[in-house]
């Protein structure tokens, strides 16, 4: 049986500096990823083909990242019943507010789990996708728990250092 993987799509390679945060989280957690530049507007047929193919090949969750009139996550969600996480990218003069509204305002029945704008959102998209896979993967759940614990200890250590 193939290992479940996360498919990360971005509308343009100019999104990569932000999207990299999602890739880094998933690689650190040893979750297989596929990364594609596919646009809802510029490459609609390739997007359709990739999503339906990835769905059949064992994709467990999709992360779709786009800026400006960001329709990518919605298009991906229209093609699959796997969970779709949308990352609005701050790419244009509206600093990502345009992409946030385009991504989050989905019609009923076609959900996109929308995270924050930009790099912080991409990072959380990585964790959210890993948490979805961890529902059926105890070892991944353990890795996520260990990382949470390490993060807590790091913050407490910084606080302790401030008190000295
Ligand atoms: C969106 O348009 C992309 O996701 C990107 O955020 C934005 C600008 O794309 P480029 O003109 O930089 O290729 O579709």
- pLDDT (average), residues 142-163: 97
Query: Which ligand 1 atom is nearest residue 66's CA?
Result: 4
The pLDDT confidence band at residue 1, using thresholds 50, 70 and 90, is low
Residues in the chain: 164
Does residue 91 lie in a domain region? Answer: yes
The tokens of 116 are what?
A: 């924050």
User: Any idea what the CATH number is for the domain that residue 25 is in?
Assistant: 3.40.50.1970
Rounded distance from Cα 67 to ligand 1 centre (Å)? 6
Instruction: Tell me the ipTM for this assembly.
Output: 0.97
Ligand 1 contact via 39 beta carbon (within 6 Å) = yes
Closest residue by Cα to residue 117 from 58, 42, 63, 67: 67
Contact, 65 vs 19, CB < 8 A? yes
Number of domains in the chain: 1
Mutate to test the pocket of ligand 1, among 13, 14, 63, 119 (most ligand atoms within 8 A of CB): 14
Does residue 124 lie in a domain region? Answer: yes
Rounded distance from Cα 56 to ligand 1 centre (Å)? 28
The tokens of 53 are what?
A: 């193919």
Does residue 108 lie in a domain region? Answer: yes
Percent with pLDDT over 70 in the chain: 99
Q: Give the residue numbers spanning the domain of 125.
A: 5-137
């Amino acid at each position: 049986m193939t290992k479940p993987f996360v498919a990360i799509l971005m509308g343009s390679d100019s999104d990569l500096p932000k999207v990299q945060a999602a890739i880094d989280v998933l690689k650190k957690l040893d979750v297989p990823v596929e990364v594609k530049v596919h646009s809802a507007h510029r490459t609609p047929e390739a997007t359709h083909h990739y999503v339906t193919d990835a769905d059949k090949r064992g994709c467990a969750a999709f992360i779709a990242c786009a800026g400006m009139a960001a329709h990518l996550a919605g298009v991906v969600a229209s093609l699959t019943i796997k969970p779709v996480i949308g990352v609005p990218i701050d790419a244009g003069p509206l600093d990502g507010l345009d992409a946030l509204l385009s991504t989050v305002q989905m019609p009923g029945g076609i959900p996109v789990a929308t995270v924050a704008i930009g790099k912080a959102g991409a990072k959380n998209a990585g964790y959210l996708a890993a948490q979805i896979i961890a529902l059926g993967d105890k070892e991944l759940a353990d890795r996520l728990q260990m990382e949470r614990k390490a993060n807590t200890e790091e913050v407490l250590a910084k606080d302790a250092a401030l008190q000295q």
